Amino acid sequence: MRKLSLALCAAAFLPTIVLAQAAATDTTAKAPAAAPDTTIKVTFGGFVDAYYAYDFGRPPKFDHSFAGGALFLTQPSRSNEFNINLAYVEANLSGNRVHGRLALQAGTSVQSNYSGEPTNGTVSGPSLARFIQEAFAGYQVTPELWIDAGIFYSNMGMESWASKDNPTYSRSLVAEYSPYYSSGVRAIWQATPELAVRLDVVNGWQNISETNTDKGAGLRLDYTASPTISLSYYDFFNNEIGGRFRIFNGVGAKVTSGATTLVAELDYGTLGAPSSGGSSSSWWGFSAIARQQVTNRVALSGRVERYEDGDQVNIATGLKDPFRGNGASVGIDVSPQARLLWRTEARGFFAGSPIFPNGTGAPQKSGTFIVTSLALAF
């Protein structure tokens, strides 16, 4: 009788034991749903670029300018003066399908580059806008597609705003006279592992404050042809004040082979005739840069360039004569530590008209300066 009772108890508990074993082995059916990834990572950084430049034309107001007084270059923009070219602090956010960047800046390059920012209305103009290097928020629509909105670097050119990211210290004329920044919305699509596509819809040609009721649009294609060769195409279209329609196209290439880097760019643009009458205008420019890493700490760079703006669409000399000319530079970079960079560059321009200052004398057809910079990234 006792054995029968034990057998009946075992039979009674057997289904429970079997179900418990099944639950223990069937993890796919009973495992809790994975919690969504809400991890947010915020990193902080900064950059300081201190410089001294000397313009042998001795501009009377220390601005690196034409004889007519108009600013020529943003970097460097002051002569015979110790100053800060660019300093900024940044916060970068990345998370599950979101990202963003906020960078605040100051320096003489900022003052000169944002001097053309329009003032239209009360809450407008460069007084605040120039301190914002980038401020955008982005959402990852698909694994290959991001949509960003805010203020960000423009889609044009082969050179960057911060000197540490460029093969030469100062910018080529094609970089100086195309937009550094834009305000609007952009889509960045990694179409294939080799091809990145970017489409911008922005307020206009390097302006945060709006100047009319129309918007501008730009496309950029970056194609990685091989591990050492990348090719780029970029354009921009917008309607200017006075009904002048701007069409801008550019192509670029970057080749890296061991310790040698080559960067080339060719830009061409047109501006339609104003609605009030007149003629259309055009301009073009190119640059070719070579950089050689001689040792781990020392690099050499050289550049040749040409720019023609016969109707002074982009380069306003402050004189009746426009800028049509060539340029060249040589530079040496020394990096005692990974985050510290000492750069020295000599650069000259040779124009077809006397448009450069010459101390107290008559304007001359050439202009030369030398600049040295100590920069720290952190």
Provide the whole-model pTM: 0.88
Could you count the other beta carbons within 10 Å of the beta carbon of residue 28? 6
CA dist., res. 187 & res. 141, Å (int): 10
| The predicted structure's pLDDT at residue 224 | 98
Structure token pair of residue 110: 């900022």
**CA distances for 212 relative to 118, 120, 247, 284, angstroms:** 11, 9, 17, 26
Q: What is the DSSP secondary structure assignment for residue 294, as one 8-state letter? A: -
Domain ranges for the chain: 39-377
DSSP string covering 64-128, please? -B-TTS-B--SSS-BSSEEEEEEEEEEEEEEETTEEEEEEEEESHHHHHHTTT----SSS-SHHH
| The predicted structure's pLDDT at residue 60 | 86
CA dist., res. 51 & res. 60, Å (int): 19
Cα dihedral across residues 157, 210, 315, 113: positive or negative: negative
CA dist., res. 220 & res. 238, Å (int): 15
**Rounded to 5°, angle at Cα 153 from 152 and 158:** 165
| The predicted structure's pLDDT at residue 258 | 95
pLDDT digit string (tens) for the chain, length 378 residues = 334 343 433 334 334 433 334 333 444 455 566 666 778 999 999 999 999 999 999 998 999 999 999 999 999 999 999 999 999 999 999 999 999 999 999 999 999 999 989 998 888 989 999 999 999 999 999 999 999 999 999 999 999 999 999 999 999 999 999 999 999 999 999 999 999 999 999 999 999 999 888 999 999 999 999 999 999 999 999 998 788 999 999 999 999 999 999 999 999 999 999 888 889 999 999 999 999 999 999 999 999 999 999 999 999 999 999 999 999 999 999 999 999 999 999 999 999 999 999 987 899 999 999 999 999 999
| The predicted structure's pLDDT at residue 3 | 40
Burial of 373 (0-12, 13-18, 19+ CB in 10 A): buried
Domain spanning 39-377: CATH superfamily: Porin (2.40.160.10)
**To which residue do tokens 């508990």 refer?**
13
Contact 279, 244 (CB under 8 A): no
Q: What is the DSSP secondary structure assignment for residue 2, as one 8-state letter? A: H
**CA distances for 240 relative to 116, 178, 252, 300, 351, angstroms:** 14, 15, 26, 41, 28
Judged by DSSP in three states, 34 sits in coil
Contact 117, 125 (CB under 8 A): yes
Whether the bond between 76 and the residue before it is cis, its omega within 30 degrees of 0, is yes
What distance separates the 2 farthest-apart alpha carbons in the chain?
127
| The predicted structure's pLDDT at residue 194 | 98
| The predicted structure's pLDDT at residue 264 | 98
Length of the chain: 378
CA dist., res. 177 & res. 342, Å (int): 26
CA dist., res. 246 & res. 271, Å (int): 4
| The predicted structure's pLDDT at residue 330 | 98
**To which residue do tokens 């057809």 refer?**
365
Judged by DSSP in three states, 190 sits in strand
| The predicted structure's pLDDT at residue 2 | 38
CA dist., res. 237 & res. 245, Å (int): 7
CA dist., res. 63 & res. 79, Å (int): 6
Q: Where are the beta strands (DSSP E) in 210-257?
A: 216-226, 229-239, 245-257
